[in-house]
Amino acid sequence: MMPIKNISNCGCNKPYSKQMKTLRLILGDQLNSQHSWFQEKDQEVIYFMAEMRQETDYVAHHIQKVTAFFLAMRNFAEELKNEGHQVIYFPLDGQDNQQDLEKNIQQLVKQHSIKKFEYLLPDEYRLDQQLQTISENLSIEAGAFDTEHFFTKRDEVANFFAGKKTMTMEYFYRDMRKKYNLLMMDKKNPVGGKWNFDKSNRKKWTGKPPIPPKKDFDKDATEVVDLIENSDIKTIGRIDKKHFPWPSSRKECLDVLDYFCEKLLVHFGDYEDAMHTDEKFLFHSRLSYAMNSKMLSPKEVIETVIDYYEQHEDEIDISQVEGFVRQILGWREFMRGIYWKEMPEYSEKNQLENKNKLPNFYWTGDTRMKCMEKAINQSLDDAHAHHIQRLMVTGNFALLSMIDPDEVDNWYLGIYIDAIEWAEITNTRGMSQFADGGIVATKPYVSSGSYINKMSNYCKSCKYSVTKKTGKNACPFNSLYWNFLHKKQEHFKNNQRMGMMMNVLKKMDKDTLQSHIERAEDVIANPEKY
């Protein structure tokens, strides 16, 4: 097998060699047991995996996220060993573990007289840079291989939109459907006669249909959690270490996928945007971690779901399936493509020049705003919240409060079990905070309380009144919304999609606007009061 990138620095111009003592690195989010690397056993190859402080400490991660990755990595290493591969695994407290990728690799190369270093292309810019440097610093052959996980290569989205003014996800998604022949009647026409059933995916959930219990694994993770806690790693969030719910092997991930097909797919699209005080996950798949760790591939997830749908067409509507396929084949691949197109500059984008601090209640969940209290506490309890909670509750509040996107990114990168930078930053800085000035979204995803009220029952039990526009008990989102549009009007003056709301703002009575501004400024200055 040949690398897609040969980074040899052996001082020679030899072609890439096959048979020699080789060290192959597997990162924590590269647990793809179906990869061609593992299809043959080679006694000259040593696989290397490590739990390292460089990975636990670059942001404060949720304790469940660190636990999930360590458990899954340990299982993966065990499986490789059982299949007859040679594996070196450094646990966090391993004697030889120097906690730094370069130091660990240098040490192993020396100890084992390694002649060649190979790695799978990482999905994070910082690791990509680091591995190139490591490869160049080693005085042996080095090569990088594809992870064989995504549908697209790193530059495919950029190439698809080359020369185009805007990058509309929908066009890319349609192209992907055709290219991979997914949910297609024939080469040109989509199943169901429409490419997109988004409009039917906007139901509020009011207690029916019943939501099946979430698929949990209820395992004892005490050993790993104690190790993390005793190592003084700074983590966030809560955990019940005796009842750890997340999958940590490919088999368990496949169980989550089957459960989704059998129990949840039937209403996935209908309630995709719904939120409820008593139901955290509704009909969402909770498969993002299984895919982002690469235990499952997006291709097998989509194909399994489509197969299931084709066998149950009488019970499941195309709109449920199309909505799901769009998220993975469309959004997930699109976001990764944007990441590789725009990094590293993307991580510094702050088009709206937002500078405020993230309120402390993002770390504690201690707020009177019911929607925020629910979305944040769920994130702290479960290391998960679904898309609309992330976008239209916590993200919406952060943008309306004009929080510095660095602080917002920091929170999202740490708190969610699926938070790997390529997916996190494009969703947070791009889709949610509009800090990229419109690369991902054509307009900012902001709303007053009315959207939250439309899609949830949160407002019913909130201290604030969603219908009141101003005054002490009025929903804070209402004033924040108008204040945001007022303060950022220069940025939106040429944005046609904002035209209607900017016109409403222009016509707003001066006193009403002034009371919105005063209230919003108080919320922003004293968020803990709310």
Ligand X SMILES: Cc1cc2nc3c(=O)[nH]c(=O)nc-3n(C[C@H](O)[C@H](O)[C@H](O)COP(=O)(O)OP(=O)(O)OC[C@H]3O[C@@H](n4cnc5c(N)ncnc54)[C@H](O)[C@@H]3O)c2cc1C
- CA–CA dist 409, 431 (Å, integer): 12
The least CB distance from residue 369 to ligand SF4, in Å, is 4
The least CB distance from residue 497 to ligand SF4, in Å, is 23
Nearer to ligand X, 52 or 338 (CB): 338
Q: Which does 462 bind (CB under 5 to 8 A by kind): ligand X, ligand SF4, none?
A: ligand SF4
Q: Which does 287 bind (CB under 5 to 8 A by kind): ligand X, ligand SF4, none?
A: ligand X
- Check: CB of residue 173 under 8 Å from CB of residue 329: yes
Q: Which does 202 bind (CB under 5 to 8 A by kind): ligand SF4, ligand X, none?
A: none
SS3 category, 289:
helix
SS3 category, 184:
strand
Cα–Cα distances in angstroms (integers) from residue 66 to residues 77, 211, 363, 433, in the given order? 16, 29, 17, 26
Q: Which does 211 bind (CB under 5 to 8 A by kind): ligand X, ligand SF4, none?
A: none
- CA–CA dist 414, 416 (Å, integer): 6
Nearer to ligand X, 37 or 289 (CB): 289
- CA–CA dist 75, 28 (Å, integer): 11
Q: Phi and psi dihedrals of 321, rounded to 5?
A: -75, -45
Burial of 328 (0-12, 13-18, 19+ CB in 10 A): buried
Q: Which does 52 bind (CB under 5 to 8 A by kind): ligand SF4, ligand X, none?
A: none
Q: Which does 256 bind (CB under 5 to 8 A by kind): ligand X, ligand SF4, none?
A: none
Nearer to ligand X, 141 or 270 (CB): 270
- Check: CB of residue 26 under 8 Å from CB of residue 49: yes
The least CB distance from residue 388 to ligand SF4, in Å, is 13
Residue type, 243: H
Nearer to ligand SF4, 17 or 461 (CB): 461
Q: Which does 371 bind (CB under 5 to 8 A by kind): ligand SF4, ligand X, none?
A: ligand SF4
The least CB distance from residue 157 to ligand SF4, in Å, is 35
- CA–CA dist 471, 350 (Å, integer): 32
The least CB distance from residue 83 to ligand X, in Å, is 28
The least CB distance from residue 271 to ligand X, in Å, is 10
Nearer to ligand X, 285 or 367 (CB): 285
SS3 category, 294:
coil
Nearer to ligand X, 3 or 323 (CB): 323
For the chain, the maximum distance between any two Cα atoms, rounded to a whole number of angstroms, is 78
Place of tokens 């929080």: 403
The least CB distance from residue 419 to ligand X, in Å, is 4
Q: Which does 370 bind (CB under 5 to 8 A by kind): ligand SF4, ligand X, none?
A: ligand SF4
* List of residues contacting ligand X (CB under 6 A): 284-288, 291-292, 324, 327-328, 331-332, 335, 386-387, 390-391, 395, 412, 416, 418-419, 423-424, 427-428, 431-432
Residue 281 bridge partners (DSSP): none
Nearer to ligand X, 61 or 116 (CB): 61
Tokens representing 436 are: 């990229």
Nearer to ligand SF4, 111 or 461 (CB): 461
The least CB distance from residue 1 to ligand SF4, in Å, is 53
Which of these, 444, 523, 427, lies nearest to 480 by C-alpha position? 523
- Name every residue whose Cβ is closer than 8 Å to that of residue 472 and which is 6 or more positions away in sequence: none
Nearer to ligand X, 424 or 436 (CB): 424
* List of residues contacting ligand SF4 (CB under 6 A): 369-371, 449, 452-453, 458-459, 462, 464, 466, 475-477
Nearer to ligand SF4, 357 or 463 (CB): 463
Q: Which does 244 bind (CB under 5 to 8 A by kind): ligand X, ligand SF4, none?
A: none
- Check: CB of residue 35 under 8 Å from CB of residue 120: yes
- Check: CB of residue 466 under 8 Å from CB of residue 456: no
What does the H/E/C string look like for 462-493?
A: CCCECCCCCCCCECHHHHHHHHHHHHCHHHHC
Which of these, 182, 469, 221, lies nearest to 330 by C-alpha position? 182
Q: Which does 286 bind (CB under 5 to 8 A by kind): ligand X, ligand SF4, none?
A: ligand X
The least CB distance from residue 300 to ligand X, in Å, is 13
The least CB distance from residue 401 to ligand SF4, in Å, is 13
- CA–CA dist 119, 97 (Å, integer): 19
